[in-house]
């Protein structure tokens, strides 16, 4: 039996602009020593291919007709912003583009501005990225199309705080250390930032908006991914305050922002689409493992794959203890191979 343990998929935002991931790049000590290392490498490479930022955006654009507009713009926000924006530029003619990302990997063709933000704590670079985003959006009209390419890290990389930046940094740092979920952290961010909680929609001057989203959030909550820059928000200022109180986080008497709600007419021309997620990777891994045949103990064995949990989240050391107990039980009942697919980090979403 192989168990797929899926943790929050940072691999979504780390994959390069490549058509196929080289299995040889998986070269850990444990894989090298494993009897079925080539099968594991091929499976992991396939998982990376299934969530390749460039490929999934390109595939979406090739299979969906975009609305006819006077001009087309692209706004990429997140760690995969360069690859995603490059895919758009390779498919359609862009009037202009703006990329907010963490690492300045150069696109294959000349795009618009590429700006580096800070992560995971928003600092001066993130604030400058927020200013640049507002300026970029100001050129749009109701006759234009804005394609937003959203991926992990967007909440920190771009900010337009409505409180002093140093206060936002203190609150963010305290939340990250508290064990708060990403949903809770981004609820706070939405109510303290002019670009989040539908803020981009509010500043787009009525342009048509299509957001293509790579989700690194458990459950794919649109308002939580990059703090929902093009999405209506179901939470309130009161909800945000309760989260700070729950984790006993000191704060000033903030002038909380109320976010755009689903009934706002601005969302009539907005489409948000998750094009790849943690579940994409997990389901692909399962499809490759289930029914595969491996040679073991002198005979061919057909693998059975069971996804034991899609929704574990919390502080990494605590989650690790829970998983260790579960794995111990599984091994006692069935001493077979366990394949882990996941990520490192202080906070672990599974």
Within 8 A by CB and 6+ apart from 172, the residues are 120, 121, 122, 156, 185, 188, 189
Q: Is the dihedral of CA 83, 87, 93, 94 positive or negative?
A: negative
Predicted local confidence at residue 80, as pLDDT = 94
| 334 pLDDT higher than 90 | no
Distance separating alpha carbons of residues 280 and 314, to the nearest angstrom: 21
The pLDDT, as a whole number, for residue 335 is: 60
pTM: 0.85
- Among 245, 276, 307, which residue terminates a domain? 276
Task: Name the domain count of the chain.
Answer: 2
Position with higher pLDDT, 56 vs 44: 56
Write down which residue in 258, 276, 294 finishes a domain. Answer: 276
Residue 200 has pLDDT above 90, yes or no: yes
Does one domain contain both 190 and 106? yes
Please enumerate, as own/partner, the contacts of 245-253 that have beta carbons within 8 Å and a separation of 24 or more. 246/184, 247/174, 247/175, 247/178, 247/179, 247/180, 249/171, 249/174, 249/175, 249/178, 250/174, 251/167, 251/171, 252/163, 252/167
* CA angle centred on 201, ends 209 and 223, rounded to 5°: 95
Tell me, yes or no, whether 145 and 214 share the same domain.
yes
Question: Are 232 and 154 contained in the same domain?
Answer: yes
Residues of 58-82 as b/e, b for ≥16 C-beta within 10 angstroms? bebbeeeeeeebebbbbbbbbbbbb
Structure tokens at 148: 């937003």
User: Where are the extended beta strands (E) located within the chain?
Assistant: 2-6, 72-77, 96-101, 113-116, 145-150, 208-214, 270-276, 293-296, 299-302, 305-309, 313-315, 339-341, 347-349
Write down which residue in 257, 276, 295 finishes a domain.
Answer: 276
Span 68-90, average pLDDT: 95
> What integer pLDDT is reported at residue 348 of this predicted model?
43
Are 45 and 74 contained in the same domain?
Answer: no
46 and 83: one domain? no
Helix, strand, or coil here: 159? Answer: coil
Residue range 49-74: mean pLDDT, rounded: 95
Percent of the chain residues past pLDDT 90, beyond the cut: 59
Domain that holds residue 265: 53-276
- The residue length of the chain stands at 350
pLDDT digit string, tens, across residues 233-254: 999 999 999 999 999 998 878 8
């Amino acid at each position: 039996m192989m168990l797929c343990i899926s943790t929050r998929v940072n691999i979504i935002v780390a994959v390069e602009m490549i058509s196929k991931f080289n299995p040889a790049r998986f070269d850990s000590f444990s894989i090298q020593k494993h009897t079925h290392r080539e099968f594991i490498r091929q499976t992991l490479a396939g998982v990376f291919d299934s969530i390749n930022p460039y490929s999934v955006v390109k595939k979406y654009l090739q299979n969906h007709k975009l609305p006819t507009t006077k001009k087309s713009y692209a706004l990429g926000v997140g760690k995969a912003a360069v690859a995603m924006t490059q895919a758009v530029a390779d498919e359609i003619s862009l009037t202009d583009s703006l990329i907010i990302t963490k690492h300045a990997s150069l696109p294959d063709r000349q795009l618009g501005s590429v700006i580096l933000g800070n992560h995971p704590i928003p600092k001066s670079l993130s604030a400058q990225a927020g200013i640049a985003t507002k300026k970029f959006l100001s050129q749009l009209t109701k006759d234009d199309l804005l394609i937003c390419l959203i991926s992990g890290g967007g909440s920190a990389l771009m900010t337009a705080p409505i409180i002093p930046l140093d206060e936002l940094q203190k609150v963010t740092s305290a939340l990250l250390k508290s064990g708060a979920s990403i949903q809770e952290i981004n609820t706070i961010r939405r109510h303290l930032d002019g670009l989040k909680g539908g803020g981009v929609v509010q500043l787009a001057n009525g342009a048509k908006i299509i957001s293509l989203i790579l989700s690194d959030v458990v459950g794919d909550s649109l308002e939580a991914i990059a703090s929902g820059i093009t999405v209506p928000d179901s939470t309130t200022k009161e909800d945000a305050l309760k989260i700070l109180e729950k984790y006993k986080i000191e704060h000033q008497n903030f002038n909380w922002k109320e976010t755009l709600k689903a009934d706002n007419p601005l969302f009539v021309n907005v489409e948000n689409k998750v094009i790849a997620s943690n579940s994409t990777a997990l389901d692909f891994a399962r499809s490759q493992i289930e029914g595969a045949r491996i040679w073991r103990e002198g005979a061919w064995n057909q693998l059975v794959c069971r996804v034991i949990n899609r929704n574990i989240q919390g502080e990494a050391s605590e989650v690790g203890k829970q998983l260790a107990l579960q794995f111990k039980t599984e091994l006692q009942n069935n001493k077979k191979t366990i394949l882990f697919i996941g990520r490192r980090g202080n906070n672990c979403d599974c």
